[in-house]
Structure 1
């Protein structure tokens, strides 16, 4: 396990570190970040991580200020003394929300949820991925089949599904992380913090700059750009 902690309270960081090593004796805590600037600087470079534990209220502001500027490479378990930010947390790849002070038992429950979502490849054949989404237009419910979706996009707090005719439909889901758990990872890949693309809609790709790629989807005039933290995994995904 490669883990990063965002926490500006020394005692809280030490307690969390103890829980982590009790849960995973061989875990590597790559960094303990204490401010928004440190978070932005650290994630400005490509990082390979399994999990991020993050406080919300830091001395220089809320951690969401930093998370909105970066492309997180892993899910987040938020740790906080406040219960007011759970909606913001789950819009920033949050999978759990731990209220301080939390016990090791509660910590272990959060970890169990992480493993259930991300660490059981043997169970993948039994997963039934979503086949369609229900969309509402002018008070009428319509069906949008997943096979007809070229991409998913997050824009201004709204999740959109783009179909093969380059038409966008508003979905009821609130974040892309929620979408990722519902669709087949062999067909869909999250190329950056705002976009998921369907491999069957990918026409071609080319180098955009040293660490990113420009993707061209069938029927779409706009270019989709991979983030530098996801480009290497995207290349591997294409070869599966």
Structure 2
């Protein structure tokens, strides 16, 4: 298993590495980073970033909170947070958190967190492919005390913003979805119709007006009804080009 450790305390990083090797002797620690700047640089320039299976991350680093880096990234895998502060436990789940370990934590608590990760990984691996007829057809919306339905066929864009999911329909009306994570619904949508461009945006093929070069590794996607183009994450650009041409 390939992992990344983000930790600015050398003793804490050493203890975590020891726990990892005790739990899984063949683990491969790709890197140990101690600052926000190092995290951004690693995911921008290290080709091994895309192959990571788990990230261990402290919150408070030498140059600020790790969230400053994570909010810029399209994370390739879950994150197991390790911190001495308990006030971040709700915030971390915006960043694919699989568990939240409060320092100092024991090996049994560490092993419990790794079991949670293993169960999540097994569930994803064993999930059978979704049949074409079983893709999600509608979303249930809550408006005050009443309920309404939003057909998936009417959705042009789904965006994660400020901890909520927003769906824009073909009339440019924005609806708040009851689901809380983009990953929760990504697999329920027909992949021939919808594509996740980055960590925040899923688009429907019918809303794409134009695709333009943005930089060496990303493109700008211009959508009908949206003033600003959406930029693909560098880890998804190649797959997006292939998806457009299928």
Same fold (TM over 0.5): yes
State the match for 2:42 in structure 1: 42
The alignment status of 1:13 with 2:13, answered yes or no, reads: yes
- C-alpha distance in 1 between matches for 2:111 and 2:2: 21
In the TM superposition, residue 60 of structure 1 has moved relative to its aligned partner by: 3.5
TM-score (norm 2): 0.79
The alignment status of 1:123 with 2:119, answered yes or no, reads: no
SS for the counterpart of 1:40 is: helix
Equivalent of 2:183 in 155, 161, 177: 177
Unmatched tracts of structure 1, length 5 or more: none
Higher relative contact order (CA 8 A, sep 6+): 1
In the TM superposition, residue 220 of structure 1 has moved relative to its aligned partner by: 4.8
SS for the counterpart of 1:123 is: coil
| Equivalent residues of 2:157, 2:169 under 8 A apart | yes
Cα 1:25–1:170 shift into 2, 3 Å: same
Q: Map Cα deviations across residues 117-160 of structure 1 (whole Å, 9 max, x no partner).
A: 5433x633489654322223354311112232222112334321
State the match for 1:141 in structure 2: 147
Judge which range, 191-200 or 29-38, deviates more: 191-200
Q: Which has the larger radius of gyration?
A: 2
State the match for 2:4 in structure 1: 4
Q: How many residues matched?
A: 239
- C-alpha distance in 1 between matches for 2:187 and 2:99: 15
State the match for 2:195 in structure 1: 189
State the match for 2:69 in structure 1: 66
Q: Map Cα deviations across residues 23-80 of structure 1 (whole Å, 9 max, x no partner).
A: 5544432211112222122223363133211112334432212222333333212122
Unmatched tracts of structure 2, length 5 or more: none
Matches within 5 A, 1:186-225: 187-199=193-205, 201-202=207-208, 204-217=210-223, 220=226, 222-225=228-231
| Equivalent residues of 1:191, 1:227 under 8 A apart | yes
The alignment status of 1:51 with 2:54, answered yes or no, reads: yes
State the match for 1:33 in structure 2: 33
| Equivalent residues of 1:73, 1:230 under 8 A apart | no
Matches within 5 A, 1:225-236: 225-236=231-242
TM-score (norm 1): 0.81
Q: Cα RMSD over matched residues?
A: 3.1
- C-alpha distance in 1 between matches for 2:206 and 2:27: 37
